[in-house]
Structure 1
Amino acid sequence: MKISTCYPLIALLMAGCGGTKSPKPSSHSKPPATVMQISNEMQLASVTLTEQAERRLGISTAAVKRQPVETRRPYPGIVVVPPQNLTMLMAPMAGTLRYAGSPAVGASVRQGEPIFSVVPMLVENYALGPTQEMGLKSTRLTLKQNEDAILTRINNAKVEVEASLIDLKRAEQLFKEQVGSRKRVDDAKARAQLGQEVLDSANRELATVRQITRQDTTPTASPMTQAAPMSGTISKIQVASGQAVSAGQPVLELSNLQHLWLRVRIPQAEAAEIQREETARVGSTEAVPVRGAPTGDQLTSSLDLYYAVENGRLNPDQRVEVSLPLKGSQQQLLVPTASILYDIHGGSWVYLRKKPQQFERARVQVEFSTEGGQSVLTQGPKVGSTVVVHGAAELFGIEFGND
Structure 2
Amino acid sequence: MNISRNALPPIFFALLIVGGCGATWWLLLAHSSGAGKPPPVNPAVVAHPIKEPQLNTIALSDEAVKNLNLQIAAVERKSLPRVRVYGGEVMPAIGKSVIVAAPLTGTLRAAADAMPRAGEAVALGRVLFELLPLVTPEGRANLAAAKIDAEGQVKSAQTQWEAAQIALNRAKKLLAGEAGSQRAVDEAQAHVDLAKENLDAAKARAAVLDKVAGELDDGTAAPIPIAAPQPGLLRSVSAMNGQSVPAGAPLFEVVNLDSVWIRVPVYVGDATEVDTAAKARIGNLTARPGKYEHAARPIAAPPTANAASGTLDMYYELDNRHAGYRPGQRVGVSLALAGAADSLTVPWSAVIHDIYGGTWVYEATGPREFVRRRVVVRYVIGDAAVLAAGPPAGAEVVAAGAAELFGTETGFSK
Q: Is TM (by shorter chain) over 0.5? A: yes
RMSD across aligned C-alpha pairs, in angstroms? Answer: 3.4
For residue 60 of structure 1, report the CA deviation from its aligned partner: 0.9
Report the CA distance shift for 1:326/1:222 in structure 2 as closer, same or farther (over 3 A).
same
State which of 311, 317, 325 in structure 2 corresponds to 1:308.
317
Task: Give the Cα separation in 2 of the matches to 1:224 and 1:136.
Answer: 13
Task: Give the Cα separation in 1 of the matches to 2:264 and 2:226.
Answer: 36
Task: Give the Cα separation in 1 of the matches to 2:264 and 2:163.
Answer: 24
Q: Residue deviations 1:22-66, cap 9 Å, x none?
A: xxxxxxxxxxxxxxxx97363233222344432332111111112
Report the CA distance shift for 1:355/1:188 in structure 2 as closer, same or farther (over 3 A).
farther
Partner of residue 9, structure 1: none
Secondary structure of the structure 2 residue equivalent to 1:355: coil
Q: Does 2:133 match 1:102? A: no
Partner of residue 285, structure 1: 293
- The answer on whether the counterparts of 1:279 and 1:289 sit within 8 Å (CA) in structure 2 is yes
State which of 377, 391, 394 in structure 2 corresponds to 1:384.
394
Task: Give the Cα separation in 2 of the matches to 1:53 and 1:152.
Answer: 76
Task: Give the Cα separation in 2 of the matches to 1:59 and 1:120.
Answer: 79
For residue 190 of structure 1, report the CA deviation from its aligned partner: 6.9
Task: Give the Cα separation in 1 of the matches to 2:149 and 2:129.
Answer: 22
Task: Give the Cα separation in 1 of the matches to 2:155 and 2:212.
Answer: 21
AA matched with 1:263: R
Report the CA distance shift for 1:103/1:155 in structure 2 as closer, same or farther (over 3 A).
same
State which of 342, 350, 356 in structure 2 corresponds to 1:345.
356
Q: Residue deviations 1:165-186, cap 9 Å, x none?
A: 6688899xxxxxxxxxxxx98x
Q: Does 2:195 match 1:204? A: no
For residue 199 of structure 1, report the CA deviation from its aligned partner: 4.4
Query: Aligned residues: percent identity?
Result: 31
Report the CA distance shift for 1:269/1:393 in structure 2 as closer, same or farther (over 3 A).
closer
For residue 257 of structure 1, report the CA deviation from its aligned partner: 1.3
Partner of residue 42, structure 2: none
For residue 355 of structure 1, report the CA deviation from its aligned partner: 1.5
Report the CA distance shift for 1:56/1:292 in structure 2 as closer, same or farther (over 3 A).
same
Report the CA distance shift for 1:96/1:220 in structure 2 as closer, same or farther (over 3 A).
farther
For residue 264 of structure 1, report the CA deviation from its aligned partner: 2.3
AA matched with 2:79: P
Task: Give the Cα separation in 2 of the matches to 1:297 and 1:152.
Answer: 32
TM-score, normalising length: structure 1? 0.74
Report the CA distance shift for 1:267/1:167 in structure 2 as closer, same or farther (over 3 A).
farther
For residue 252 of structure 1, report the CA deviation from its aligned partner: 1.8
Secondary structure of the structure 1 residue equivalent to 2:240: coil
TM-score, normalising length: structure 2? 0.72
- The answer on whether the counterparts of 1:157 and 1:198 sit within 8 Å (CA) in structure 2 is no
Report the CA distance shift for 1:160/1:357 in structure 2 as closer, same or farther (over 3 A).
farther
- The answer on whether the counterparts of 2:168 and 2:185 sit within 8 Å (CA) in structure 1 is no
- The answer on whether the counterparts of 1:153 and 1:202 sit within 8 Å (CA) in structure 2 is no
For residue 153 of structure 1, report the CA deviation from its aligned partner: 3.8
Partner of residue 295, structure 1: 303
Q: Does 2:328 match 1:322? A: no
AA matched with 1:155: E
Secondary structure of the structure 1 residue equivalent to 2:394: coil
**Aligned residue pairs: how many?**
346
- The answer on whether the counterparts of 1:294 and 1:305 sit within 8 Å (CA) in structure 2 is no
For residue 247 of structure 1, report the CA deviation from its aligned partner: 5.1
AA matched with 1:314: Y
Task: Give the Cα separation in 2 of the matches to 1:376 and 1:39.
Answer: 33
Task: Give the Cα separation in 2 of the matches to 1:59 and 1:245.
Answer: 74
Task: Give the Cα separation in 2 of the matches to 1:363 and 1:160.
Answer: 55
Secondary structure of the structure 1 residue equivalent to 2:211: coil
Structure 2, unaligned runs of 5 or more: 1-47, 284-291
AA matched with 2:376: Q
Partner of residue 6, structure 2: none
Task: Give the Cα separation in 1 of the matches to 2:282 and 2:81.
Answer: 16
Q: Residue deviations 1:97-129, cap 9 Å, x none?
A: 212222121111123432111112234xxxx2x
| Alignment of structure 1 residues 180-199 onto 2, 5 Å | 194=190, 197-199=193-195
- The answer on whether the counterparts of 2:208 and 2:224 sit within 8 Å (CA) in structure 1 is no
Q: Does 2:129 match 1:113? A: no
AA matched with 1:384: G
AA matched with 1:113: R
Partner of residue 135, structure 1: 142
Q: Does 2:93 match 1:85? A: no
For residue 91 of structure 1, report the CA deviation from its aligned partner: 3.1
- The answer on whether the counterparts of 1:93 and 1:215 sit within 8 Å (CA) in structure 2 is no
Task: Give the Cα separation in 2 of the matches to 1:339 and 1:367.
Answer: 15
Task: Give the Cα separation in 2 of the matches to 1:290 and 1:61.
Answer: 39
Q: Residue deviations 1:129-165, cap 9 Å, x none?
A: xx44553454345434533443344235434554676
Q: Does 2:265 match 1:254? A: no
Secondary structure of the structure 2 residue equivalent to 1:158: helix
Task: Give the Cα separation in 1 of the matches to 2:359 and 2:200.
Answer: 56
| Alignment of structure 1 residues 145-184 onto 2, 5 Å | 145-159=152-166, 161-162=168-169
- The answer on whether the counterparts of 2:103 and 2:248 sit within 8 Å (CA) in structure 1 is yes
Report the CA distance shift for 1:110/1:216 in structure 2 as closer, same or farther (over 3 A).
closer
- The answer on whether the counterparts of 1:160 and 1:195 sit within 8 Å (CA) in structure 2 is no
AA matched with 2:394: G
Report the CA distance shift for 1:363/1:297 in structure 2 as closer, same or farther (over 3 A).
closer
Report the CA distance shift for 1:138/1:402 in structure 2 as closer, same or farther (over 3 A).
closer
Secondary structure of the structure 2 residue equivalent to 1:225: strand
Report the CA distance shift for 1:74/1:44 in structure 2 as closer, same or farther (over 3 A).
same
